[in-house]
């Protein structure tokens, strides 16, 4: 699972995870996409805060562990995906999330635009094209591809292994939680 996260982040920006973001300590780095600030260096660890794209974080001392770097954001210390951090705000602003041919080739996308759900505390936005799956894992059967920027609704029926249950245009399933964000966190 960590490997999948790393592949995703490298796809966001191949320059991400440069020697600067991997080895600097007591320096300032910037998020190339919204990241979760986790309590421990693990995909299963509790999320303490959301780090918005472009936000500055303080890279603390300590080694990268399980692909996570020790950082402090908004006065809270935790762990963020190391490859999601770059050395300058310009690099963070230039990061573009590509549509991956592999993701769109495996499952056809819906052709009609999905009606936007009512904006509530349960509404989230996808940060990249995102696979809706039948279960909580990369091996679970794909249901459909949710386009980047689409609104979906948390169903609160399950959360496991970094995945949460959602409803998108009447289809329910599991999505990877680090790839969705609250609308007020998307700039």
Instruction: Name the residue ranges covered by the structural domains of the chain.
Output: 2-94, 101-185
Quickly name the fold that domain 2-94 has.
Answer: SH3 type barrels. (2.30.30)
The pLDDT, as a whole number, for residue 133 is 92
Q: What mean pLDDT do residues 96-119 have?
A: 38
Q: Looking up tokens 């995945």, which residue turns up?
A: 163
The pLDDT, as a whole number, for residue 150 is 93
pLDDT digits (tens, 9 = 90+) for 39-75: 998 877 888 888 888 999 999 888 988 888 999 999 9
- Worst-scoring range by mean pLDDT, 110-124, 127-141, 145-159? 110-124
- Token representation of residue 92: 């963070």
Distance CA 168, CA 98 (A): 21
The pLDDT, as a whole number, for residue 23 is 66
Q: Looking up tokens 């990369």, which residue turns up?
A: 138
Query: Are residues 104 and 61 in contact, defined by beta-carbon separation less than 8 angstroms?
Result: no
Beta-bridge partner residues of 122: none
2-94 matches 101-185 in fold? yes
Q: Is a pLDDT exceeding 60 seen at residue 22?
A: no
Query: Are residues 47 and 37 in contact, defined by beta-carbon separation less than 8 angstroms?
Result: yes
- Token representation of residue 112: 């009609």
The pLDDT, as a whole number, for residue 176 is 86
> Using 50, 70 and 90 to split pLDDT, how confident is the model at 16?
very low
- Token representation of residue 43: 């995909």
Please, what sign has the CA dihedral across residues 136, 139, 140, 141? positive
- The β-bridge relationship of strands 180-182 and 163-168 is unpaired
Quickly name the fold that domain 101-185 has.
Answer: SH3 type barrels. (2.30.30)
């Amino acid at each position: 699972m960590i490997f999948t996260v790393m592949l995703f982040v490298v796809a966001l920006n191949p320059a991400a995870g440069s020697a600067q973001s991997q080895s600097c300590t007591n320096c300032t780095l910037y998020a190339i996409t919204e990241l979760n600030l986790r309590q421990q260096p693990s995909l299963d660890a509790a999320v303490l805060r959301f780090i918005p794209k472009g936000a500055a974080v303080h890279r603390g001392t300590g080694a990268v562990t399980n692909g996570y770097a020790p950082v402090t954001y908004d006065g809270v210390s935790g762990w963020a995906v190391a490859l999601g951090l770059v050395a300058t705000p310009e690099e963070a602003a230039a990061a573009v999330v590509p549509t991956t041919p592999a993701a769109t080739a495996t499952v056809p996308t819906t052709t009609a635009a999905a009606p936007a759900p009512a904006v509530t505390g349960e509404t989230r936005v996808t940060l990249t094209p995102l696979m809706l799956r039948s279960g909580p894992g990369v091996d679970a059967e794909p249901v459909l591809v949710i386009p980047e920027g689409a609104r979906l609704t948390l169903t609160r029926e399950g959360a496991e292994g970094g995945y949460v249950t959602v409803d998108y245009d009447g289809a329910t399933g599991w999505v990877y939680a680090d790839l969705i964000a609250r609308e007020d966190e998307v700039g």
